[in-house]
Amino acid sequence: MTSSSPIAIIDSGLGGLTVARAIRMALPAESIIYFGDTARLPYGTKTAGTVSRFVSQIIEYLRRFDPKHVVIACNTATALSLPVLRERFPDLPISGVIDPGSKAAVIAAGRKVTPVIGVIATEATVKSQAYERAIHSRRRHARLIMRPAPLLVPIIEEGRRPQDPLVQLALRQYIEPLMKRGLDVLVLGCTHYPILKDQIIELVGPAVAVIDSAEQCADDVARRLAEANMVRGEEEGSGEMKCFVTDDPGKFAKLATRFLGVPVKQPHWVPADELYEPTGTIDEIET
């Protein structure tokens, strides 16, 4: 790998595109390979072993592109599989979204003796206790309130707009109970949720710091690449982005614009069966 090698971003579907968008803003010269495992989502209802196997298969598939860094742009996959992935692929720099978001939450909590930090996430992320470990390793006396928000991902992937009454009702259902417990910081513990960040900020009010895990992840990737002297030079121009999905590329392309803020090319379809025994060359993929 070299500084011109791409950054690989992996997610169960569309949510990781918020990470891709943040990375493109922070590092516009970088090329990105995005892989959405749309045939096997959601990851949030699956076991750690299953998620680790799925993501390992995707990494094996993407190795043909010689990525210089792999981002697990899914809170569930980060929580359930990151240590396993780093052990299995010791030659690849791999990072996730939970540690950067947790660090930012602790900073945002300020000097309050016992800050109340809320996290909304998938069922699997909540059960993993990954946020508790990451936050309490930095702030022992923080009071954490974990809240699964299972309706938000399907609502967002349906393409419903933030002003939709169903969206507003779901946000109030999940967030208002946290507000009643004296919330100081709210972590958006799923990369889909930044799509609704403006509405969430409006709901919690100015006294509560809202942490966007996608933005924090992008800052973390920029720092890691700089430390490794692997940042692509701006003189090389703006980097390109290629997307891969395991199902329904048409739907992905239609909804991806909302996550990225710009139109995307039709993604390449990778049948899930192909991930079990990766075949093909880069030339075959690009044609």
CA–CA separation, 125 vs 142, rounded Å?
19
CA distances from 160 to 38, 153, 156, 165 (A): 18, 11, 6, 10
Provide, rounded to the nearest whole percent, the portion of the chain with pLDDT above 90: 79
Note whether 128 and 138 are same-domain residues: yes
Residue 1 maps to a domain: no
Taking phi over 0 as left and psi of -120 to 50 as alpha, with beta for the rest, 261 belongs to left
Over 90: is that where the pLDDT of 281 sits?
A: no
Beta-strand pair 116-121/94-95: unpaired
The secondary structure of the chain as a DSSP string is --TTSPEEEEESSSTTHHHHHHHHHH-TT--EEEEE-TTS--GGGS-HHHHHHHHHHHHHHHGGG--SEEEE--HHHHHHHHHHHHHH-TTS-EE-SHHHHHHHHHHHTTT-SS-EEEEEE-HHHHHHTHHHHHHHTT-TTPEEEEEE-TTHHHHHHTT--TT-HHHHHHHHHHHHHHHTTT-SEEEEESTTGGGGHHHHHHHH-TTSEEEEHHHHHHHHHHHHHHHTT-PPPGGG-PPPEEEEESS-HHHHHHHHHHHHSS--PPPEE--HHHHHS----HHHHH-
Mean pLDDT of the 238-250 span: 93
Question: 283 pLDDT exceeds 80?
Answer: no
Same domain assignment for residues 108 and 69: no
Separation CA 49–CA 74 (nearest Å) = 16
Judge whether 217 counts as a catalytic residue. no
Q: Which of 182, 213, 244 is the last residue of a domain?
A: 213
Domain match, 207 and 106 both: yes
Domain range for 152 is 98-213
Query: Considering the domain boundaries, does residue 171 fall inside one?
Result: yes
Domain assignment present for residue 257? The answer is: yes
| Catalytic-role residue among 10, 58, 70, 74 | 74
Are 217 and 96 in contact, with CB atoms under 8 Å apart?
yes
Q: Is the pLDDT of residue 282 over 80?
A: no
Nearest C-alpha neighbor of 41 from the set 186, 180, 191: 191
33 and 119 share one domain: no
- Assess contact for 143 and 117: CB atoms under 8 A: yes
- How many folded domains does the chain comprise? 2
Question: What span, in angstroms and rounded, lies between the C-alpha atoms of 136 and 64?
Answer: 38
* Catalytic residue of the set 190, 245, 256, 260: 190
Contact by Cβ (8 Å): 35, 268: no
* Position with higher pLDDT, 157 vs 64: 64
Please count the other Cβ atoms lying within 10 Å of the Cβ belonging to residue 161: 11
pLDDT of 56 reads 97
Whether pLDDT at 287 is above 60: no
Phi-psi region of 75 (alpha: psi -120 to 50; beta: other; left: phi over 0): alpha
Q: Which pLDDT score is estimated for 279?
A: 44
Tens of pLDDT, residue by residue over 35-85, are 999 999 888 888 999 999 999 999 999 999 999 999 999 999 999 999 999
Residue 2 lies in a domain: no
pTM: 0.91
Q: Is the CB of residue 166 less than 8 Å from the CB of residue 99?
A: no
What confidence tier does 181 reach under pLDDT thresholds 50, 70, 90?
very high
Tell which of 213, 237, 256 closes a domain.
213
Residues 176 and 114 reside in one and the same domain: yes
Inter-CA distances, 259 with 23, 71, 96, 118, 256, Å: 13, 17, 19, 24, 5
**190 annotated active-site:** yes
Is the same domain home to 166 and 222?
no
Tokens standing for residue 112: 């309050």
Claim to verify: residue 171 and residue 32 sit in the same structural domain: no
pLDDT at 263: 85
Q: Are 40 and 57 in contact (CB under 8 A)?
A: no
- For the domain that residue 106 is a member of, what is the CATH number? 3.40.50.1860
